[in-house]
Structures are given as structure tokens and as C-alpha cells.
Amino acid sequence: MKHLIEINSIKLYAFHGCLEEEARIGGHYTVDVCMKTNFSKAAASDELSETIDYVQVNQIVTEEMAIRSKLIEHVGQRIVNRLQQELQHLDAVRVKVVKISPPINGDVQNVAIIIEEGNWTS
């Protein structure tokens, strides 16, 4: 059985980027988290302890996004690592970090990285 829990468009202001001005000024980001789990027990029992707590996921994302990185690839991997370490019932995780209006000398809405880890096939 495959159950997915998604937390989409976590809106954050952070200071990631290779440019010094990004460290001072910061920018807008969104993070999407998709987690594969089996929440059959939670669906039957109505108990939070049998599934993944959205509050904890949001807290992990917020804390990791608050630590400056030059690359969103780096912060994305930190988020994945913490989710895997701290969440029970997690079979696989997908994290998407989106940098809104990146300073890349062009009219670009956003850039994003996606990291998928774990067993997505079964």
C-alpha cells in the first residue's frame, strides 16, 4: 500500500546564494515536501502518533532554511537528511526547494532543485 503526505508551498524568507548581496538582502523561497508512508493505522485509530506530524515537518524545513547556504542543493539535502533521521513511518521523501526571482541576469520566475530518496517503487 502506498500513502503520500504532501506539505506544499511552505513560504520562507532566507539568505541563500553565492552572491554577497544575497547574504545581506535575502530572498523568497518555497519548499514542497512529499513523504511516502503507510498511514493505515492512523486512518483507523485517528491517532497522530501513527503517522507523520505536519508541524514537525514544517519545523524541520524552517530550521534548515534559516541556516545560510550558498547552494539550494545544500539546504535541500540538509532538509532530506533531517526528515529521514527524525521522522518515524517514513519510507521515502521528496523535497523541492524553489528560489523565487533568482538574480541570474534574466527574466526568470524561479529556479528549483528536487531531491528524492528512499523506496518510491513499492
Question: What pTM was computed for the model?
Answer: 0.95
Enumerate helices (H) and strands (E) in the chain, giving the number of each. 4, 4
Q: CA-to-CA distance for 30 and 50, rounded, in angstroms?
A: 27
The topology (CATH level 3) of 3-118 is: GTP Cyclohydrolase I, domain 2 (3.30.1130)
Q: pLDDT tens for residues 40-83?
A: 999 999 999 999 999 999 999 999 999 999 999 999 999 999 99
Smallest CA-to-CA distance from 62 within 115, 1, 14, 111 is with 14
Question: What torsion, rounded to 10 degrees, do the Cα atoms 47, 88, 85, 121 define?
Answer: -130
Structure confidence at residue 12 as a pLDDT band (50, 70, 90): very high
pLDDT above 90 for 3: yes
